[in-house]
Amino acid sequence: MSQRQLALRSGVEQAHIARIERGAALCHVATIRRLLDAMFCDLLILPLARKRPGDALADQYMRIPQQKYLWDEGPALLPRTPPA
């Protein structure tokens, strides 16, 4: 289908279709939907994970400051109480 035919069928200007094809124009989802409807196509949006869930959880865990406990440092830092 030519740009001219697509413009007539979709109601989107031919010049705008040319700019979209060149990557010189941004368009709304509604415009994309009009173009796809004119071509008898459906729009399907699928999420694509940037990381595996386990890796994302591990990164998140590493960003949380870990709490220090007295027993982590050994018995030398425990307060000594004088014998009664």
Mean pLDDT rounded to a whole number for the chain: 83
What was the pLDDT predicted at 55? 84
Q: What would the pLDDT profile of 60-78 be if each residue is shown by its tens digit?
A: 777 776 666 555 555 555 5
Provide the whole-model pTM.
0.55
pLDDT tens sequence across 3-35: 999 999 999 999 999 999 999 998 899 999 999
Give the residue extent of every domain in the chain.
Answer: 1-65
Q: How does DSSP assign 13-82, residue by residue?
A: -HHHHHHHHHT-----HHHHHHHHHHTT---------SS-HHHHHHHHHHHSPPPP-HHHH-GGGSPPPP
